[in-house]
Amino acid sequence: MNTLNNLDLQNKIVLLRVDYNVPVDETGKVADTARITETIPTVNYLREHGAKIVLMAHFGRPKGQVVETMRFTPIVETISQVLGVQVLYTPELISPIVKSAITAMSAGEVMLLENIRFYPGEETNDPVFAKQLASLGEVYVNDAFGAAHRAHASTAGVAQYLPHAAGLLMQREVEELSKVLNTPEHPVIAIIGGAKISTKLALIKNLLPKVDKLLLGGALANTMMLAQGYDVKKSLVEPDLINTVKSLISDKIMLPSDVVWDKQDRILDIGPNTVQAYTQALSGAKTIIWNGPMGMFEQPEFAAGTLGMAKAVVASGAYSVLGGGETVSAVHQAGLADKVSFISTGGGAMLEFLEGKQLPGIICLN
């Protein structure tokens, strides 16, 4: 994978793909600036090396049409504050006005283009659109790991037409995830949670041969427990996957030994005995991979399992890598985010990477 030190950046117009698809509150203000903060090292590197930086990003799902509420207008000031540089903004993408504004930029200046998903050619990875984007710059850098699993014009297509490299965030994501997947220090323990086992089957299949233990929680564990003959009552299950799940049963997999029920006879968290058993399993780990909560942790009465696992991961002293929006939220909720070794910025991208898939946004940087 090409890295930034492979590029000549002085006075070059760099098209920098970032993931600024940030959550906003009801007033339109940015609720969490983490995705912007993560790009600071790359932006600073490019500025220090004399580049003119043109940011490309998407916001929401406008589906190839201009949606006024999905413009970057309300959040440009926040982006400027977080990056520590006044970010120029153009409410267009492909036009002579944009081209002349980019040409007029000085080294070290930063400009944000309008929401790239306003254009239908983005998500279809239309080569004509990718060429139009490429014509705006001289170098392409992808720092949007969170969108690396998408074969879109701005994440994969542009790289065919310009000298290209991974940004510092993209580079670190690939290095960290490659390390825990391919050359981890054993014992390796994976914690997999979430709602549906169908969304994590490929992950479980890819990790099972590589890990020493796999701890399951969340509603996805219900299907596995049902396959082993447990009465899960009215809990969420995927009955059509019973036979598939039976074929995965292994002494490496640990399932909840007790659970927390709601009034409707549904399992919504792992129980205290399970937290204790899982904590014990983690105590000797050297590497921990965590994706997915242990229950409906958004509700305080069903949060003990997930928060207990967050504490156990940190207490283990193991090298810990985690990702997925809910997992990250839970670790922040526990006040332990700064004690985790690495938090991935990609939910779906991290999942696909750990499933062993080739990600379009990474392949194109080779």
Residues annotated catalytic, as ranges: 35, 196, 325, 348
Cα–Cα–Cα angle for 166, 168, 173, nearest 5°? 85
Please, which residues have CB within 8 angstroms of residue 154's CB and are 6 or more apart in sequence?
A: 17, 56, 58, 116, 122, 130, 133
Cα–Cα–Cα angle for 90, 75, 348, nearest 5°? 100
Query: How many Cβ atoms sit within 10 Å of the Cβ of residue 4?
Result: 21
Bridge partners for 13 per DSSP: 52
Q: Rounded distance, CA 50 to CA 319, Å?
A: 36
Q: Rounded distance, CA 82 to CA 92, Å?
A: 23
Q: Rounded distance, CA 347 to CA 325, Å?
A: 6
Looking at residue 141, its amino acid is: V
Please, which residues have CB within 8 angstroms of residue 184's CB and are 6 or more apart in sequence?
A: 210, 286, 287, 319
Could you give the C-alpha distances from 99 to 10, 59, 110, in angstroms and in order?
19, 22, 14
